[in-house]
Amino acid sequence: MRIKYTISVVFFVALVIIEKENNIISRVSDKLSIKQTPDAADAPVHTGCLSRLPLKPNVSSPSLSKMNSAFTLMKRRLENYSERRVAARRGRKHILLLATTRTGSSFVGEFFNRQVDNMFYLFEPLWHVEKMLTLEGGGTNATVAAGAYRDVLRQLFLCDFSLLEGFVDPPPVDHVTAALFRRESSISLCEESVCSPFVKGVFEPYHCRSRRCGPLNLTLASQSCLRKEHRVIKSVRVRQLETLRPLAEDPRLDVRFIQLVRDPRAVLASRMVAFEAKYRNWKEWAASGDVPLDDDEVRKLKGNCDNIRMSAEIGLRRPAWLHGRYMLVRYEDIARFPMRKAAEMYRFAGIPFTPKAKAWIQRNTQASKKSSSVYSTQKNSSEQVEKWRFSLPYKLAQVVQSVCGPTLKLFGYKIVSSEEMLTDKTVSLIEDKVFNLV
């Protein structure tokens, strides 16, 4: 009887703590090893919490039956809780690489894509969603798009392609499609097990390069996804991190967000080269020296900067729902220290960094006569990263600074106050900054 009392009291108090301090439990249990049984894993949590409480139970006050029912309730909740925690604790991670175009997200995606043995990687699946939701005048309704992105991402993290299928055009037939955007950029979607027999005469714009496959059978893709230990999705389409909060709170997922950012002045310079036609206005403004600040293009630039900054601000504020789930990475740091940053990302993700992925990074960032990528360390990479300073007219740098000032400041990009400063090689515009206390 005595023992039962003691146990009941202990569990009763633990129940109260669990209700109140869910956070501590999830934090502590995250640290516990996968191998532990739920009971063993939960035990130290109780001890730890109890020792901090002025615990003087008046054993004679509540009746035995009350204690028993509390005990039963407690047990049920603990079991339910453990079940959910165990699902997450099995070690499966869901990584979302959040970026905007020209921030090196494809390259960073490769860090994970190349670790193909235990990683299911998808490259821009939301492309289809954005395309389908694009309004007549261009652009999407941000609210509608955000909801669709969130729901599709959630399903994809669970290896379910059905919602995405609804956005693929032409619609898949029997879950088979020849049109999945950039299929070939995802090693997982071109593996032997996902490779259907080649079909002659079917045009596949995104056909596998590594082997000859027929149109993608999404059932096979889903099966492959389920077999892989971790799931990684890269997207340049999510605008506000906050819209993904339900993913972070979904007990079936263990989501980690990695937000990639880059100096918006460099992004503009890069986009003016990559998307020449779209950025013709900017070229003309640069030539005439007159930028209409109320132009749609400038407003869009400001909107992008604000979205990126607000997402980062939320992440860096570390609200409870994002605790341990957010990492900010600057393009410039990846370009200068690729291996170090990759190791940090893997550590943050809670995934072992395998020699295979390391070897790929080594090969693709080392001096190579053919490589002219900004990630090549053949030339001085610090210089490479700041090369945009010689291609972006000062006038445009000023415009970016005037509409993206707070964004530049948050990420540690120095403002230039003259054309001389912009092109002064001896002054780096990248401040050393540590964002993540990993």
Ligand X SMILES: *[C@@H]1O[C@H](CO)[C@@H](O)[C@H](O)[C@H]1NC(C)=O
Q: Which residues bind ligand X (CB under 6 A)?
A: 58, 60-61, 80, 141, 143-144, 174, 176, 217, 219-220, 380, 382-383, 425
| Nearer to ligand X among residue 56 and residue 369 (C-beta) | 56
Q: How far is the CB of 146 from ligand X (least distance, A)?
A: 10
Rounded to the nearest whole angstrom, what is the least distance from the CB of residue 167 to ligand X in the complex?
17
CB of 284 to ligand X, least distance (A): 29
CB contact burial 321-360 (16+ within 10 A = b; e otherwise): bbeebbbbbbbbbbbbebeebbbbbbebbebebbeebbeb
**Nearer to ligand X among residue 8 and residue 217 (C-beta):** 217
Nearer to ligand X, 250 or 271 (CB): 250
Distances from the Cα of 390 to the Cα of 1, 47, 270, 316, 409, angstroms: 81, 61, 12, 32, 21
Shortest CB 205 distance to ligand X, Å? 20
Whole-Å CA distances, 60 to 17, 46, 78, 280:
22, 23, 25, 82
Least distance from ligand X to the Cβ atom of residue 144, Å: 5
Q: What type of residue sits at position 435?
A: F
Cβ 22 to ligand X shortest distance, Å: 10
Least distance from ligand X to the Cβ atom of residue 280, Å: 27
SS3 sequence of the chain = CHHHHHHHHHHHHHHHHHHHCHHHHHHHHHHCCCCCCHHHHHHHHHHHHHCCCCCCCCCCCCCHHHHHHHHHHHHHHHHHHHHHHHHHHCCCCEEEEECCCCCCHHHHHHHHHCCHHHEEEEECCHHHHHHHHCCCCCCCCHHHHHHHHHHHHHHHHCCCCHHHHCCCCCCCECCEECCCCCHHHCHHHHCHHHCCCCCCCCCCCCCCCCCCCCCEEHHHHHHHHHHCCEEEEEECCCCCHHHHHHHHCCCCCCEEEEEEECCHHHHHHHHHHHCCCCCHHHHHHHHHCCCCCCCHHHHHHHHHHHHHHHHHHHHHHCCHHHCCCEEEEEHHHHHHCHHHHHHHHHHHHCCCCCHHHHHHHHHHHCCCCCCCCCCCCCCCHHHHHCHHHHCCCHHHHHHHHHHHHHHHHHHCECCCCCHHHHCCCCCCCECCCCCCCC
Q: How far is the CB of 96 from ligand X (least distance, A)?
A: 23
Taking the complex as a whole, the smallest distance from the CB of residue 42 to ligand X amounts, in Å, to 15
Our CB check for ligand X shows the closer of 215 and 264 to be 215
Least distance (Å) between residue 244 CB and ligand X: 18
Cβ distance to ligand X smaller for residue 210 or 380:
380
51/61 with CB nearer ligand X: 61
Q: With respect to ligand X, which residue has the nearer C-beta, 50 or 427?
A: 427
Nearer to ligand X, 89 or 234 (CB): 89
Shortest CB 77 distance to ligand X, Å: 7
Our CB check for ligand X shows the closer of 60 and 288 to be: 60
- Of 47 and 372, nearer to ligand X (C-beta) is 372
Q: Whose Cβ is closer to ligand X: residue 24's or residue 176's?
A: 176
